[in-house]
Amino acid sequence: MRVRAAVSDVSGEYFGTSGIRGRVGEAVDASLALSVGRALAADADAVVVGRDARTSGPMLVDALSAGLTECGADVIDLGVASTPTVARSVAWRDADAGVSVTASHNPPEDNGLKLWQPSGQAFDGPMQDRIEERLDAGSFDPKAWDELGERRAWANARRRHVEAIADAVDVDGSPSVVVDVGNGAGGVSVDALLAAGCEVETLNAQPDGRFPGRPSEPTAENCGTLAATVAATDADLGIAHDGDADRMMAVTGDGEFVPGDVLLALFARGAASAGDRVAVPVDTSLLVADALDEVGADVVRTRVGDVYVAERAVADDVAFGGEPSGAWIFPDATLCPDGPLAAAKLVERVAADGPLADLVGAFERYPIRRATVEVAEKRAVMDSVRERVESSFDDVDTLDGVRVDLGDAWFLVRASGTEPKIRVTAEARDEARADEVFERARSIVTESVE
């Protein structure tokens, strides 16, 4: 028997750059989670489900699990778990898919659903399209009472994740690390670093979906307490996660927050050799390409979003993938951004090669400007931006947003995939030129909004 069921008021594109995400009770609700579960069950006999600490998480997990089990799929419930723990557990439990109930770095009033393949890669475009088609049609396949799926807990996922990280790194000595968990689900980093022999001090380690310690996104502004703590102690470095620990950012032993582009260059140089490529999004600094050029490697540019970086990271010649926002993908280990693994890899590098400040200080930094403009109609604004840019510049790339290569500089205007915002980025090799290009790009967006 097939039935048609109502879905959330979200219409059109359900998936952004990082799954389905939005304001709870508006864009994301129990009805949507129920329907996603029903839609996913058409392709899956067993699904791993986990959530971050958000207060809306249990409600959405219950609804998602109801949809899955109603349509015959078994649910392996991890409870509160980091997103990389969920993604890795799909293969560990021989499941067909995984779902992280999380809004990642978004504020506490948001939540969402991110779907994972057994490889650890997020659902790609065709897989997302199939889910969206079922959601739009509202046509699902509920089972009879004796064919329903079962929901059962698995308590060993976090321990399995710690073991996997331990197998991937070999940390010399006992480096001292301050870990700012951000009131999220990233406690697995603490376990993994302790298991590696590190001395660990924690900040905001109590999971709390209100994020009272600091905003969830691990930016320089939000990590002031971490930077001050590291600087005031004898810690070797600091680590910060977002709410679901798919992101990882770092602070040097001197208390300096490491910009994402610089951290990306450090990881890329450590992973790539001559002939290799590193997958990076279109908003990545030129310093990454310059750093790789010194060892005979190169970048391959993708759309913004770890799902797109992961799609390129499956290629044999791609040694690493990363985003300046803090998502790091080590293809030999997993195709999901694994913040705890990245933390352990960074600590391993510092223990072997010296202070983080010295390692990142080796990279030349170029002035890069970034700003965000809140808009009501992203698509209309971007259409206007594209028209204005294409009529004024020659080298225009529309892979993701609108990117203009000016030779000695570049700028990018793109819509956020998860929020009602337009992001503007510009970079050059000197300050004055960066300011000039950035103001030109921002004025194009302002004119388009008006």
Same domain (yes/no): 191, 290: yes
| DSSP per residue, 231-258 | HHS--SEEEEE-TTSSBEEEEETTSPBP
Could you tell me which residues are beta bridge partners of residue 77? 49, 153
Cβ–Cβ < 8 Å for 324, 260? yes
Supply 193's token pair: 């670093």
pLDDT along the chain (450 residues), means of 10: 34 72 94 98 97 98 98 98 98 98 95 96 93 93 97 98 97 97 97 97 97 97 98 97 97 97 97 96 92 95 90 94 96 96 98 97 92 92 95 92 92 85 94 97 93
Question: What was the pLDDT predicted at 65?
Answer: 98
Question: What was the pLDDT predicted at 12?
Answer: 44
Same domain (yes/no): 38, 118: yes
Q: What is the CATH number of the domain that holds 378?
A: 3.30.310.50
Reported in sequence order, the residue ranges of 82-228 that DSSP labels E, i.e. its strands, are: 97-101, 110-116, 139-140, 151-153, 176-180, 199-203
From 336, 361, 386, give the residue that closes a domain: 361
Tell me the C-alpha distance between 63 and 27, whole Å: 15
Same domain (yes/no): 245, 338: yes
The 20-23 sheet, strands edge to edge:
20-23, 110-116, 97-101, 46-51, 74-80, 151-153
For residue 402, the surrounding DSSP H or E stretch is strand 402-405
Supply 174's token pair: 């006992």
CA terminus-to-terminus distance, the chain: 51
Tell me the C-alpha distance between 130 and 132, whole Å: 5
Residue type, 149: G
From 346, 361, 376, give the residue that closes a domain: 361
Domain that holds residue 415: 368-449
Cβ–Cβ < 8 Å for 12, 103? no
Same domain (yes/no): 355, 373: no
Tell me the C-alpha distance between 300 and 279, whole Å: 5
Same domain (yes/no): 168, 148: no
Q: Which residue has the tokens 């582009």?
A: 261
Task: Say whether 224 sits in a helix, a strand or coil.
Answer: helix
Same domain (yes/no): 381, 283: no
Q: For the chain, how many structural domains are there in total?
A: 3
Please give the model's pTM, rounded to 2 decimal places: 0.90
Question: What was the pLDDT predicted at 130?
Answer: 94
Question: What was the pLDDT predicted at 18?
Answer: 78
Q: How far is CA 21 from CA 24, 112, 207, 434, in A?
A: 9, 4, 20, 33
Same domain (yes/no): 276, 379: no
Residues with catalytic roles: 104
Question: What was the pLDDT predicted at 371?
Answer: 93
Tell me the C-alpha distance between 440 and 446, whole Å: 10
Same domain (yes/no): 332, 381: no
Same domain (yes/no): 325, 399: no
Q: What is the CATH number of the domain that holds 186?
A: 3.40.120.10
From 331, 361, 391, give the residue that closes a domain: 361
Same domain (yes/no): 319, 373: no
Same domain (yes/no): 331, 396: no
Same domain (yes/no): 259, 196: yes
Count the Cβ atoms, other than its own, within 10 Å of residue 362. 11
